Amino acid sequence: MDTPVVATLLQPAAPNWPDQIEAIRTLLGAPNNPTVFPSHFLRVVLPRIGGHIVQFQRNGQTVGVGFLFPRASSHSSTQFLAHTSVVYTLRCHVLQGDLSLEELAEAAQRSLPESRAIPYDPAATHAFRRTSTVVDGWDMGAPSIDEAAAIRSLQKRIWGVSTDNLYPTDIHSTDFGCVQSEVVRSGNQVVAFLFGFYKHGGRPLPAGWDEGINRDWRLESQVLGVHPDLRGRGVATLLKVRQAEKARQAGIDIVNWTADPLLWPNAALNFGRLGAVAFDFVPGMYAFRNEMNRVPASRLALTWLVNSRRVLDRLRAPGGVRDLAGAGAVVVNDGSLRVDLTCAAPRIAIEIPQNWVALQAQSLSEAEAWRSATDTVLAHYIGSQPGNYIITSVARERERCYLVAE
């Protein structure tokens, strides 16, 4: 009789979590295995979406590795309210040839008794369902298999990252079942994309915000990319509006994502155009470096209540960028030079660079000073508890740019 496979869930709180991630990626053939996820995703994002890493062992030997991703199902919108089981896609990497995917799934389910794990082989051939709809003259829809590969190429072009930091192509397949994907086409070319992962749970909402909201089944919007030649033409907005529509169709009330607080175009889109808010700040969230992130990658965690009156009104009639004088906010930093941590005004303004990407390329020391100053301000003021501030909008004063919090 064969010795049973034992599944062990790795713990993100473990002191050696980053080392465990790198050891597993190396075991699976990274950086030369295109089915392996980027290190920063496995370290930070997978736990945030309610996912898990599973190590499978037999007789003390590692015989496989699995990644559990929250999976969409016909009951996704109500499964938590009804206290039914959680459904995962088990992304299986078999290291011993005589193991079946079903055997690994059964072992994983024993480690998560209230769950169901659907086995999935990322190296197999999978089905893609291309869709197409025209919005404001742009052809948009879910990607074909070739377009899924084009997402990787466009991501590499935009951020200048190595192939080890690109996402696997198969995640956009219908078989994977854990991702909402959308591309924008110009002729036969993919010129923009947006994808996000289904998510179990998340950070609590501020007091009084959660009435009638499904807090437990969410979408984590992960990567939005627009070809450099098309920036400023509203393509990113179209992708986010489409994402909100698809989230509502999936019974999702909350879309989360992270954003660099110092990227002004992103802030104008997220807070001014979309009506998202931010009450969580994570300094030094990612360790990676690329052409757009040359200093520690601090992030705001954004919350987008896609069914709220605020968001629905904003999408119909964008609030845009306000003039600082009309925002009624007290400025709490003079760029990177002065920081005020004593303000108790009803509304504050946090200055950010007009062009953060260019600043990082021009002067690394100045960029580091900006990051340090704004990290201090954001960590002090932003939060969801009484006395904290929530970022709700953006403002300008001539060439100077601000996040506005209240």
Q: Which residues pair with residue 283 across a beta bridge?
A: none
Whole-number pLDDT of residue 181:
98
**pLDDT tens digits for range 13-26:** 999 999 999 999 99
User: Parallel, antiparallel, or unpaired for β 391-397 and 61-70?
Assistant: unpaired
For the cut 70, the answer to whether the pLDDT of residue 82 exceeds it is: no
For the cut 50, the answer to whether the pLDDT of residue 79 exceeds it is: no
**pLDDT tens digits for range 217-231:** 999 999 999 999 998
| Residue 287 binned pLDDT confidence (cut-offs 50, 70, 90) | low
Which conformational region is residue 124 in: left (phi greater than 0), alpha (psi within -120 to 50 degrees), or beta? beta
Both tokens assigned to 131? 């869709």
Cα–Cα distance for residue pair 264/241, rounded to 1 Å? 20
For the cut 70, the answer to whether the pLDDT of residue 245 exceeds it is: yes
| Residue 289 binned pLDDT confidence (cut-offs 50, 70, 90) | low
Q: Which of 159-168, 187-196, 200-209, 397-406 bottoms out in mean pLDDT, i.e. has the lowest? A: 200-209
**pLDDT tens digits for range 104-162:** 999 999 999 889 999 999 999 999 999 999 999 999 999 999 999 999 999 999 998 89
Mean pLDDT, residues 376-393 taken together: 96
Mean pLDDT of the residues in the chain? 93
Every domain range in the chain assigned CATH 3.40.630.30: 133-316
For the cut 50, the answer to whether the pLDDT of residue 305 exceeds it is: yes
**pLDDT tens digits for range 330-357:** 999 999 999 999 999 999 999 999 999 9
What DSSP line would sit under 347-358, residue for residue?
SEEEEE-S-HHH
Contact in structure between 91 and 51 (CB atoms under 8 Å): no
Cα–Cα distance for residue pair 272/394, rounded to 1 Å? 6
Look at the block and give the residue holding tokens 């295995």. 33
Cα–Cα distance for residue pair 41/196, rounded to 1 Å? 12
For the cut 50, the answer to whether the pLDDT of residue 261 exceeds it is: yes
Q: Among 304, 395, 313, which residue's Cα sits nearest to residue 350?
A: 395
**Alpha helices (H) in 85-215, listed in sequence order:** 101-111, 145-159
Mean pLDDT, residues 226-241 taken together: 94
Whole-number pLDDT of residue 30:
97
**pLDDT tens digits for range 167-181:** 999 999 999 999 999
Contact in structure between 295 and 364 (CB atoms under 8 Å): yes
What DSSP line would sit under 108-124, residue for residue?
HHHHSTTEEEEEE-TTS
For the cut 70, the answer to whether the pLDDT of residue 77 exceeds it is: no
For the cut 60, the answer to whether the pLDDT of residue 50 exceeds it is: yes
CA distances from 66 to 11, 85, 102, 186 (A): 14, 19, 12, 37
Whole-number pLDDT of residue 148:
98
Of all residues in the chain, the percent with pLDDT exceeding 70 is: 95
Mean pLDDT, residues 69-87 taken together: 63
For the cut 90, the answer to whether the pLDDT of residue 207 exceeds it is: no
Q: Among 160, 165, 211, 219, which residue's Cα sits nearest to residue 194?
A: 219
Look at the block and give the residue holding tokens 């959680």. 86
| Structural domain 6-120, CATH architecture | 3-Layer(aba) Sandwich (3.40)
| Residue 74 binned pLDDT confidence (cut-offs 50, 70, 90) | very low
Please tell us whether the domain made up of 133-316 is placed in CATH 1.10.4080.10: no
Whole-number pLDDT of residue 372:
95
